[in-house]
Amino acid sequence: MMVGAKSPSASRVFHASRRSRAPGTFWTAAMAPAMLTALYAIFVYAPDERVMGAVQKVFYFHVASAWNGILAFLVMFIASVGYLLSRRPGWDELAFASAEVGEVFTTVTLLTGPLWGKVAWNIWWDWDPRLTTTLVLWTVYGVYLVARHYAGTEVTPGQGDGQDASRAAVQAAVIGIIGFADIPILLMSIKWWRSVHPVLLQGAKMNIAPPMAWTLGISVAAFTLLYVGLLGLRLRLERARREVRRLLAAGLAGKGVGR
Amino acid sequence: MKYLAGLLTITWKDITAEFRTKEMSTSMGIFALLVMVVFGFALRPGAEETVAVFPGFAWIGFFFAGLLGLSRSFVSEKMNGAMTGLMLAPVDRSVIYFGKVAGNLLFMFVVEAVSFPLYIVLFDVPAPQRPGSLALVAFLGTLGFVAVGTFLAALAANTRTSELLLPILLFPLAVPLVIAVVSMTRAALTGDFTDTASWWRMLVVYDAVFLVVPWLLFEYLLES
C-alpha cells in the first residue's frame, strides 16, 4: 500500500492525535517530580527496616504496582461493560490500553514480591491466596491481550483475512468481563485460606511506622500518576491508529481523504 | 416450557450427531486413558505420595479430555453454516448456550464414569469412602468447567486460531474451580470432611457465576 504517497493525511493523523484530550506532555511533566519525590522518600527519608534492612524498600514499589495492577483491572472491566452497552470505540480503546498498562504493573508486582519473599520467608514463591490471585490476575491480563490479538481475524469467504475491528472489540470486552468475574471468587478464598502474606491494614490502623506509611503514600500516588500517564499515551496511540484505519479505508474506497 | 423444549432439542441434536460420528466419545475416552498411562509411568502406583496427588491428576485427566470435546463443540457448527441455522431458530439465544452445556456435560460424565474406576484400579488407590459425595463433587466440578468452557469455545470458534485460543482462555479462569474441586475430591475419597464447608461454597459460587455471566453475555458473542 502506498501510504507514503499520502503525506498530507499522515500529518493530519499526527495533528489529530495532537489535538486529542489524552494527557501527554502535561502528565509527563507532572510525573517527573512525583517520581523523584517518591525515590527520595523511599531511599533517603524512610528508615531502614530493623531486621531486613534495605531489602524491605522493595515493598514501596511492590505495593504501589500491585495497587495499580488492580486499579487497571477495574478500569478494564468498567470500560468493557461500557463498550458492550454503548458500542463507542473509545471505551474499547480504554479497556485495551488499561489491560496493557495493568499487565506491566502486575509483572512488576510479581517480580518484586519474590525479591522480598526470599529474604523474609526464605522462599521465592508460595501458593498463598494473595500470590495465587495475583498470578491469575496476570494470566487473565495475558489472555485478554493474546485473545485481543487473534480476535476478529476469522477468515470469512469474500472478506479475506479481515481484521473486523468491531468484532474484535466485542470479543475482547466479553473476555474482559468474564476474566474479571474470576477474581472475586479467588478473593473469597483469602478469608479462609492460611496466608503468610503480610497484612498492611488492620481495621483503620496501618501496620507500619509513620515515616514508612508516608513514603508508601507518596510512592502509591506517584505510581498512580505513572499509570494515568502511560494510559494516556497508550490511548493517544490507539486513537491515532483508529484515524489511520479510517483514512486508509476512505482512501481505498476512492472517496478521498478530506472531510 | 418452550425454553426447556428448545434446550433439549439442541442437546438431543448433539447426542444424535455424536451417536452417528462417535468423534468425541472415542477421542475423549482414549485421551483420558492415555493421560493416565503417562501419569502411571511418572508416578509409582500404590505409593503414599501417589494417593496424595491422585485427586489432582484425575482432574487433570478429565479437564484435558473435556477440552478436546469443548474445542469441537462450536467449531463443528461452523461447517455448512449450521451455526446460522441455530441462530435462526425461534428461541432465545441463550437456549443454544444451555443446550450445548447440557450436551457437553453429558459427554464429560460418560467419560468420567468410565475412566474414574479405571484410574482407581491403575493407580491402586483405596476405593472412595463417600461415593455419594464424590458424585456430587464430580457433578459440581464438571458443571463449572463445562459452563465456562462452552462459553469460551463459542468465543474461540469465531477466531482463526480457535484450537490455540480455547486452552489459554479456559485454564486461567478454571483456577478457582481446580483448587476447590481437587480439595473436595480428596475429602470424598478419604472421608475426611473437616474444614471443607468453604470449598463447597466456592464450588457452588463458581458454578453460579459462570452460568449467569455467560447467560448475560452469550448474545454478544453470536452477533459478532
- In this structure, what C-alpha cell is assigned to residue B26? 472415542
pLDDT of residue A190 exceeding 60, the answer is: yes
More confident residue, B218 or A46: B218
Cα of A18 vs its chain's centroid, Å: 22
Cα separations (Å) of B159 from A104, A209, A257, B64, B208?
A: 26, 53, 31, 21, 27
Q: Residues in chain B, how many?
A: 224
pLDDT of residue A161 exceeding 80, the answer is: no
pLDDT of residue B82 exceeding 90, the answer is: no
pLDDT confidence band for A128 (50 / 70 / 90):
confident
A174-187 residue pLDDT tens:
999 999 988 888 87
Count CB atoms within 10 A of the CB of residue A87: 13
For B155, the closest chain A residue by CA position comes to: A171
State the DSSP string of B28-66. HHHHHHHHHHHHHHHS-TT-HHHHHHHHHHHHHHHHHHH
* Least confident stretch, A12-16, A46-50, B113-117: A12-16
Contacts of B175 in chain A (CB under 8 A): 132, 136, 182, 186
A233, A24 contact by CB (below 8 A): yes
Amino acid at A243: E
The conformational region for residue B124 under phi > 0 = left, psi -120 to 50 = alpha, else beta, is left
B35-69 residue pLDDT tens:
888 888 888 777 888 888 899 999 999 999 999 98
pLDDT of residue A94 exceeding 90, the answer is: yes
Q: Determine the distance in angstroms separating the CA of A48 from the nearest CA of chain B, rounded to an integer.
A: 38
- In this structure, what C-alpha cell is assigned to residue A133? 490471585
CA distance B7 to A24: 52
Question: What ipTM goes with this model?
Answer: 0.86
Closest Cα to residue B184, out of B128, B111, B107? B128
Q: Provide the mean pLDDT of chain B.
A: 87
Tell me the domain boundaries of chain A.
35-45+55-252
For B176, the closest chain A residue by CA position comes to: A186
pLDDT for the residue numbered A164: 65
More confident residue, A188 or B146: B146
pLDDT for the residue numbered A138: 93
Chain A residues touching chain B at CB-CB below 8 Å: 84, 132, 136, 139-140, 142-143, 146-147, 150-155, 161, 164, 166-167, 170-171, 173-175, 177-179, 181-182, 185-186, 188-189, 192
Cell 486529542 sits at which residue? A20
pLDDT for the residue numbered A186: 80
Count CB atoms within 10 A of the CB of residue A52: 14
Cα separations (Å) of B178 from A18, A84, A90, B66, B140?
A: 48, 30, 36, 14, 11
Interchain contact, A136 vs B175, CB within 8 Å: yes
Q: Provide the mean pLDDT of chain A.
A: 78
CA distance A26 to A16: 17
pLDDT of residue A9 exceeding 90, the answer is: no
- Which residue of B165, B178, B218 to mutate against A (max A Cβ within 10 Å)? B165
Give the list of residues 6+ apart from residue A174 with CB closer than 8 angstroms, or none: A80, A84, B155, B217, B220, B221
Contacts of B152 in chain A (CB under 8 A): 178
